[in-house]
């Protein structure tokens, strides 16, 4: 910048369509460059005393001040368009791009460039100017000659060679002493060139430095050629020209181009130049970054991008781009918006400021285009439009803070939930408005840590509103950063979950009660989802699974992962029936450590509150005692039947005998009186039958007693 101001010439650097201003850390303007002052037609003092403010259009000034103030307070870059009063009394649109300036990490103000293509109509590069001067110098140059007679060992100079070396004609040139005039860094080069010329007849054409007799440094163009006769070098001749001025001009051009390159690469916008036919002659690093490629100098034409589109997204040819229009129409094309596609298929929105430049004869030499990337601005505008619409329509609370976590914006949802209006909230911290003694301190500490590390965080928080109402929020907090990754603030979206929280608490209490009931019962309870994965289980179920299968039951496990063996078929049948809404039960015998026991499992279909089947409940109870009693009774009945069947034939025989003897005795008595001997015989036989009957009855009683035992 100092170079541009001190030169005082209309160089290519000064003719760039860029005006520069700076302000300090509190927003006071402290610098305007010559381009700005020339454009405005004011002095530096006038601008510093408020002239810049008067130069901005009245309709644009409030917004510019607002944007400037925000950039100062937030230490952020900004891009802003406004109308600026020119010295001729007309307003021109200016694109202003400002960047924060830090020294040793301390913010000291803003540095800004303002672009207006009208400043570039008289652009003329140092290179073209210097080339013209170089051609004029060559036309007027006086070239001296020299020769060396190899046979006579005689060296001859013309008058101009004497003048270049700043010696008078009394000086006797000598081939070896003449080489001593050359600069120490160039001496070896000229010695090798003369040796090759002398011994091999190899000509040379060199630009070297000499130090004259008066110790002045001069650049010379020295040429040498050998005269050969019959294969032998007999004479050396050459030309000697002072090219100091041309060389200084050339070096100045190089330095000018170096400085131009330095300035171009230091600009925060893409800049490139073309010749009169549109072939690219130079571009800065920002342009290469914008295009996503490095174009070939002298080959790529009109623009360095791969493809171009207009603002409607329609493809346009490169010869229709703003740079091509500027050259073909020989007029500035500024503020035209377009879009380019990079080789990696990404797109960039930009504004072009293409300006032709001419020589002193007003002949068109080429053009320069300043391309400002507005992709981020486009995306931000779209996102802000969407965010603003969503934030205003959503019932959730949306809070935006600055980097110091002071509220800068809230939506109507915030007012609805908290009771605080936008005016009451802006400038305050969310914590001082909403947090109170019941707010969980650990959650607050977690939030503070996330703020310090600029990390996103999601928490549930108990807050208090303006009316003293307590409410729970689910809060998602995200950091906001600028293009350099610096934190500029935070955005928080709060959802009122008070009712959900209370419902969860009630549900948790209900679940605890249900868990207590299930764990207090002696029956096993397992709930399966529709894919037969375990949803819940009680204490008895966990104990039985551990006992039977030697493993802990786990939530989400498939019931078929357990070694069910013979039970699997019954379980599949009854679970499938329950999935169809049919309640059923099964009794099954299990084996544990060689001992069998019986359980009864009931299968119930389970529905949610909408009537949708959600799974199957398995309720199992121990029926070992009942099953053993039933088996015992069954066994006793079988034995009694066996006893009754077996003993009925034995008991019928003595009874039949007694009935026969009784009938015989009655018959004989009716026919004739029985003697004592016959009566004793019959009674003896009957007594044996009675005894036999008694024995059988005793055996039955004994067998029955054994069954009961």
Report pLDDT for 3.
32
Report pLDDT for 329.
93
CATH number of this structure's domain 521-622: 3.30.450.20
| 647 pLDDT more than 80 | no
CATH superfamily of 142-242: PAS domain (3.30.450.20)
Give the model confidence (pLDDT) of 456-485 as tens digits. Answer: 999 999 999 999 999 999 989 999 886 567
Mean pLDDT of 53-68: 92
List the single range of 110-124, 149-163, 536-550, 628-642 with lowest mean pLDDT. 110-124
Measuring CA to CA, how many Å separate 406 from each of 375, 422, 433, 570? 29, 13, 11, 67
Q: H-helix or E-strand containing 347?
A: strand 347-358
Report pLDDT for 73.
93
Report the mean per-residue pLDDT for the chain: 80
CA distance 253 to 259: 10
pLDDT band for 514, please (50, 70, 90 cuts).
low
Mean pLDDT of 538-550: 80
Mean pLDDT of 511-539: 75
Report pLDDT for 214.
92
Comparing 692 with 8, which gets the higher pLDDT?
692
Report pLDDT for 380.
52
pLDDT band for 186, please (50, 70, 90 cuts).
very high
Cα three-residue angle 676-678-680, rounded to 5 degrees: 70
| 498 pLDDT more than 60 | yes
CA distance 446 to 621: 49
Mean pLDDT of 224-232: 90
Mean pLDDT of 488-504: 82
Q: Which of 428, 409, 134 is nearest to 253 (CA)?
A: 134
Q: Which of 577, 623, 566, 627 is nearest to 603 (CA)?
A: 577
Contact 94, 20 (CB under 8 A): no
| 395 pLDDT more than 90 | no
Report pLDDT for 133.
38
Cα three-residue angle 93-95-96, rounded to 5 degrees: 130
Report pLDDT for 599.
78
Q: Which two tokens stand for residue 57?
A: 């259009």
Mean pLDDT of 189-215: 93
pLDDT band for 516, please (50, 70, 90 cuts).
low
Which class is 267-374 in CATH? alpha beta
Q: Which of 316, 330, 315 is nearest to 278 (CA)?
A: 330
Contact 11, 127 (CB under 8 A): no
Locate all alpha helices (DSSP H) within 227-333, ordered by sequence: 244-266, 285-291, 322-329
pLDDT band for 130, please (50, 70, 90 cuts).
very low
State residue 174 phi and psi, 5-degree precision: -135, 140
Cβ neighbours, 10 Å, residue 654: 19
Mean pLDDT of 165-188: 89
Mean pLDDT of 251-259: 69
Using the CB atoms, write b or e for 523-558: b if 16+ within 10 Å: bbbbbbeeebbbebbbebbbebbeebeeeebeeeee
Task: Please report, to the nearest 10 degrees, the dihedral formed by the alpha carbons of residues 40, 41, 42, 48 taken in order.
Answer: 10
Comparing 432 with 562, which gets the higher pLDDT?
432
Cα three-residue angle 327-332-334, rounded to 5 degrees: 120
Share of the chain above pLDDT 90, in %: 30
Q: List 235's β-bridge partners, or say none.
A: 149, 227
Q: CATH fold of 394-502, please?
A: Beta-Lactamase (3.30.450)
pTM above 0.75, yes or no: no
Give the model confidence (pLDDT) of 273-291 as tens digits. Answer: 999 999 998 888 888 888 9
Q: Which two tokens stand for residue 147?
A: 């020769």
Report pLDDT for 376.
67
Q: Do you know the residue count of the chain?
A: 709
Q: List 472's β-bridge partners, or say none.
A: 462
pLDDT band for 174, please (50, 70, 90 cuts).
confident
**DSSP tag of 47:** I
List the single range of 2-16, 447-461, 556-570, 656-670 with lowest mean pLDDT. 2-16
Comparing 161 with 673, which gets the higher pLDDT?
161
Q: Which of 463, 482, 483 is nearest to 471 (CA)?
A: 463
| 199 pLDDT more than 50 | yes
Contact 180, 155 (CB under 8 A): no
Mean pLDDT of 309-335: 89
CA distance 683 to 632: 45
CATH match for 18-115 among 1.10.1740.10, 3.30.70.2190, 3.30.450.20, 3.90.420.10: 3.30.450.20
Mean pLDDT of 219-226: 92
Report pLDDT for 371.
87
| 657 pLDDT more than 80 | no
| 268 pLDDT more than 80 | no
Report pLDDT for 223.
92
């Amino acid at each position: 910048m100092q170079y541009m101001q001190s030169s005082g010439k209309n160089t290519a650097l000064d003719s760039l369509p860029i005006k520069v201003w700076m302000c300090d850390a509190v927003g006071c303007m402290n610098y305007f460059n010559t381009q700005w002052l020339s454009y405005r037609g004011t002095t530096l003092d006038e601008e510093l005393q408020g002239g810049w403010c008067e130069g901005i259009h009245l309709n644009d000034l409030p917004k510019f001040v607002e944007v400037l103030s925000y950039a100062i307070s937030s230490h952020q870059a900004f891009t802003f368009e406004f109308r600026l009063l020119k010295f001729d009394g007309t307003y021109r649109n200016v694109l202003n791009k400002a960047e924060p300036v830090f020294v040793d990490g301390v913010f000291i103000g803003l540095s800004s460039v303002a672009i207006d293509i009208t400043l570039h109509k008289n652009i003329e590069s140092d290179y073209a100017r210097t080339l013209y001067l170089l051609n004029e110098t060559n036309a007027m140059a006086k070239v001296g000659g020299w020769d060396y007679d190899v046979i006579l060992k005689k060296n001859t100079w013309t008058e101009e060679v004497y003048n270049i070396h700043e010696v008078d004609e009394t000086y006797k040139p000598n081939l070896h002493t003449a080489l001593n005039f050359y600069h120490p860094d160039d001496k070896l080069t000229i010695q090798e060139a003369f040796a090759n010329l002398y011994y091999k007849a190899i000509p040379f054409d060199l630009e070297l430095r000499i130090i004259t007799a008066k110790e002045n440094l001069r650049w010379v163009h020295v040429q040498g050629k050998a005269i050969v006769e019959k294969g032998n070098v007999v004479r050396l001749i050459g030309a000697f020209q002072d090219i100091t001025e041309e060389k200084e001009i050339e070096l100045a051009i190089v330095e000018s181009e170096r400085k131009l390159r330095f300035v171009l690469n230091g600009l925060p916008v893409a800049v490139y130049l073309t010749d009169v036919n549109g072939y690219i002659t130079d571009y800065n690093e920002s342009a290469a970054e914008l295009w996503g490629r490095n174009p070939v100098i002298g080959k790529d034409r009109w623009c360095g991008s791969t493809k171009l589109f207009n603002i409607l997204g329609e493809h346009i040819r490169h010869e229709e781009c703003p740079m091509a229009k500027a050259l073909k129409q020989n007029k500035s094309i500024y503020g035209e918006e377009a879009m380019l596609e990079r080789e990696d298929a990404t797109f960039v929105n930009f504004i072009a400021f293409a300006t032709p430049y001419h020589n002193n004869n007003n002949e068109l030499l080429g053009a320069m285009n300043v391309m400002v990337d507005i992709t981020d601005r486009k995306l931000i505008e779209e996102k802000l439009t969407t965010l603003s619409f969503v934030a205003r329509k959503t019932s959730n609370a949306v809070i935006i803070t600055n980097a110091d976590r002071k509220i800068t914006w809230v939506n109507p949802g915030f007012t609805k939930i908290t009771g605080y209006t936008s005016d009451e909230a802006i400038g305050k911290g969310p914590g001082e408005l909403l947090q109170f003694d019941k707010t969980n301190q650990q959650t607050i500490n977690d939030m503070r840590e996330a703020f310090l590390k600029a990390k996103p965080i999601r928490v549930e928080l108990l807050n208090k509103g303006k009316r003293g109402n307590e409410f729970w929020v689910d809060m998602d907090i995200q950091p906001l950063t600028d293009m350099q990754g610096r934190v500029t603030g935070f955005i928080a979206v709060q959802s009122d979950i008070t009712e959900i929280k209370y419902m969860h608490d009630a549900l948790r209490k209900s679940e605890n009660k249900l868990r207590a009931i299930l764990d207090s019962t002696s029956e096993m309870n397992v709930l399966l989802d529709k894919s037969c994965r375990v949803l819940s289980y009680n204490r008895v179920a966990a104990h039985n699974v551990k006992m039977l299968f030697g493993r802990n039951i786990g939530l989400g496990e498939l019931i078929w992962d357990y070694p069910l063996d013979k039970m699997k078929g019954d379980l599949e049948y009854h679970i499938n029936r329950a999935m169809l809404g049919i309640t059923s039960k099964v009794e099954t015998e299990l084996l544990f450590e060689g001992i069998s026991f019986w359980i009864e499992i009931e299968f119930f279909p389970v529905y949610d509150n909408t009537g949708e089947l959600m799974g199957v409940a398995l309720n199992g109870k121990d029926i070992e005692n009942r099953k053993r009693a039933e088996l015992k009774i069954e066994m006793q009945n079988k034995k009694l039947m066996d006893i009754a069947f077996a003993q009925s034939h034995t008991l019928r025989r003595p009874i039949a005998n007694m009935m026969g003897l009784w009938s015989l005795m009655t018959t004989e008595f009716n026919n004739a009186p029985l003697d004592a001997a016959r009566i004793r015989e019959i009674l003896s036989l009957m007594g044996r039958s009675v005894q036999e009957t008694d024995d059988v009855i005793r055996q039955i009683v004994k067998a029955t007693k054994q069954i009961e035992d």
